[in-house]
Amino acid sequence: MRSRPVLVYDADCGFGSSSVGLAERLLHPRCTTTPWQSADLDALGVTQERAEHEALWVTPTGTVYGGSQTVAKLLLSARGAWPVLGALLMLPPVRWVAHLVYRWVANNRSRLPGSTAACSPRPPRPADRTH
């Protein structure tokens, strides 16, 4: 069993990589960061499709959080006053607003500073399409 949580992110997206780098410098979180592209996703209990869709927080016991809850968990693991903000992000209705903001950012990350072509939304795979 892992002793630290794992933050899984998309290293191909410059915006995501820059965001994780900034978080590491500012927050000094108590976690391991790993791009999904080089992670053992099976061992983490995560699918590639989910890792492509959102940043993930995997606890040492294997619980997986995604999106805005990943941001909240990251803040909760930080040093200083950051955990207060993380706790707020876990509470309704702040949690609901944080989810909407996270989805907007994730859906528009190709337009944000530091983005790369890999940040663009991926087209659905043939198996993902509904008929």
Provide the whole-model pTM.
0.85
Q: Which amino acid is present at 82?
A: W
Spell out the domain ranges in the chain.
6-116
Q: Mean of the per-residue pLDDT values for the chain?
A: 88
Residues of the chain above pLDDT 90, percent: 71
What is the structure's pLDDT at 122?
Answer: 54
20-58 pLDDT, tens per residue? 999 999 999 999 999 999 999 999 999 999 999 999 999
pLDDT value of position 12: 86
